[in-house]
Amino acid sequence: MLQKEKINILIDKAKTAAENSYSPYSKFAVGAAILSESGKIYTGCNVENASYGLTVCAERIALFKAVSEGEKNFEMIAIFSGGKKPTYPCGACLQVLLEFVGDDFEIVSAFPEGYEIDRK
């Protein structure tokens, strides 16, 4: 599969995942889709809590779902939000991702107007 094709598929899945966001406090829905080296895609959305420290980001939910299914190596993640600018992983998400990714891992930050790509 071509790189651009992978990116588009991940963005579509992240966008769909954002629809399941539970974000009554911030009103900022985020979805994520992570691609494992085995070729499987896992999704997640942000889930907020009245005790804000217990909120979990979309990126970690997608990663935790994948790890709970036996995946340990990943190629790329796409994060989608409906904002006017791209949304990037927070420090906690980056720290958790670093446990499972190599130097060539790509982070795709998507929003309605386009996307940007970063390496970890």
Which amino acids are annotated catalytic? Answer: 59
Question: 71 vs 2, 61, 82, 112, CA distance in Å?
Answer: 22, 13, 29, 30
Contacts within 8 Å (CB) and 24+ apart, 10-14: 10/34, 10/35, 10/41, 10/76, 10/77, 10/78, 10/108, 11/78, 11/80, 11/108, 11/110, 11/115, 13/41, 13/43, 13/78, 14/43, 14/58, 14/78, 14/79, 14/80, 14/110
